[in-house]
């Protein structure tokens, strides 16, 4: 009886080890070493996340996304990305305090309200996008956004002193966006922003709207970057409707031309020139900022490794789906 109980416990512990990817650690202030409580610890672009306790500690099961980086964000600090994680290791995360450049330039008090409205409109357009989904997407706490306009450089910058709470009534999600950077160059009409996402609620639990949400989600997914990298991982581009060509040439490239796999099974998107990516008749251009761009089966890819143009570059926050999303079977 005692031997049977011991074997049962061993099998239970073994199953827990095999079927969980629990990552543990502590989040501290880099300068003071003080623990940071209520810091968000999450897989960017997913529903998987937790917060640190009063002592800065955290524990998160990353079983479904063990090949994704772990993201740590806290109010008043720069976000941190832990690219490689292994269960059993204890991670000590040091966050750097963030200094907001609020005094870089001043918005004139004469027309402060009108200017803020104009800046918010511009921010919404560039951040949420201009798609049909964006029309039904809103930022619920716009009061946390602060703007700086630098007249010398004709550049508008935005800062958020808390994560942006976003409700997407088109795709049926609520999410938090941790804004790291937002800058709009008015001279060249160029926008750059970066940050990370934690999905918090799936609104499709309401059966009355689930079919409408599924239709919109499917339309948003097909032809997206997430769709492309899932198809690329499976070496299934043609069946999925994609084609890769050399930039401004008709040279069709194959899987082996653009994918490199290392000894650990990691896969990288790579090419020495710019590429055209076609989804049926829609074209996107991609330029490599890194020699090797990591990607995973679920559609994740290193966002700092590529620069997009064309159809795939249009998608913004209102057009993003969580990595948990799967196409319906029928």
Cα–Cα distance, 285 to 274 (Å, whole number)? 7
CA Rg value for the chain: 22
Residue 171's nearest CA partner among 47, 318, 316 is: 318
Q: Quick one: which of 240, 306, 316, 304 has its CA closest to 278?
A: 240
Assign 73 a pLDDT band (cuts: 50, 70, 90).
Answer: very high
Distance of CA 57 to the CA centre of its chain: 23
Q: What digits encode the pLDDT tens for the residues 27-56?
A: 999 999 999 999 999 999 999 999 999 999
In angstroms, rounded to a whole number, what is the distance separating the alpha carbons of residues 141 and 164?
A: 6
Question: Coil, strand or helix: which one is 184?
Answer: strand
Q: Which superfamily does CATH assign the domain made up of 2-95 to?
A: Carboxypeptidase-like, regulatory domain (2.60.40.1120)
User: Is the confidence at residue 106, as pLDDT, over 50?
Assistant: no
Lowest mean pLDDT among 109-113, 131-135, 191-195, 287-291: 109-113
pLDDT tier, 100 (very low <50, low <70, confident <90, very high otherwise): low
Cα separation, 280 vs 220, in Å, equals 15
Q: Closest Cα partner for 174 from 227, 213, 145?
A: 213
The residues, ordered by sequence, that sit 6+ positions from 323 with a Cβ below 8 Å of its Cβ are 43, 45, 46, 65, 68, 226, 298, 299, 300
Rounded to whole angstroms, the Cα distance separating 239 from 290 reads: 28
pLDDT grade for 207, boundaries at 50, 70 and 90: low
Distance CA 181, CA 232 (A): 30
Beta strands 275-279; 242-246: pairing state: antiparallel
- Rounded mean pLDDT of 243-252? 90
């Amino acid at each position: 009886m005692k031997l049977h109980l011991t074997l049962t416990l061993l099998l239970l512990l073994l199953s827990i080890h095999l079927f969980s990817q629990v990552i543990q650690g502590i989040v501290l202030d880099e300068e003071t070493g003080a623990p940071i409580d209520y810091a968000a610890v999450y897989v960017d672009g997913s529903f998987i996340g937790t917060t640190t306790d009063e002592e800065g500690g955290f524990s998160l099961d990353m079983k479904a996304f063990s090949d994704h980086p772990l993201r740590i964000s806290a109010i008043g600090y720069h976000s941190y990305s832990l690219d490689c994680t292994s269960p059993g290791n204890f991670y000590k995360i040091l966050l750097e305090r963030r200094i907001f450049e609020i005094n870089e330039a001043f918005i004139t008090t004469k027309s402060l309200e009108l200017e803020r409205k104009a800046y918010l409109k511009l921010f919404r357009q560039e951040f949420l996008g201009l798609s049909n989904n964006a029309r039904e997407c809103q930022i619920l706490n716009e009061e946390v956004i602060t703007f700086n306009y630098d007249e010398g450089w004709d550049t508008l910058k935005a800062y958020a002193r808390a994560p942006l709470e976003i409700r997407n009534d088109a795709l049926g999600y609520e999410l938090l966006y941790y804004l790291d950077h937002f800058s709009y160059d008015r001279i060249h009409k160029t926008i750059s922003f970066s940050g990370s996402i934690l999905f918090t609620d799936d609104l499709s639990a309401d059966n009355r709207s689930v079919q409408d949400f599924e239709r919109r989600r499917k339309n948003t997914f097909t032809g997206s970057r997430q769709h492309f990298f899932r198809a690329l991982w499976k070496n299934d581009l043609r069946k999925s409707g994609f084609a890769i060509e050399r930039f401004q040439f008709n040279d069709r490239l194959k899987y082996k031309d653009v994918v490199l796999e290392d000894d650990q099974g990691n896969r990288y998107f790579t090419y020495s020139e710019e590429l055209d990516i076609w989804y049926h008749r829609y074209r996107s251009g991609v330029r490599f900022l890194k020699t090797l761009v990591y990607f995973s089966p679920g559609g994740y890819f290193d966002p700092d490794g590529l620069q997009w143009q064309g159809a795939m570059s249009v998608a913004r926050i209102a057009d993003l789906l969580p990595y948990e999303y799967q196409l319906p079977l029928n």
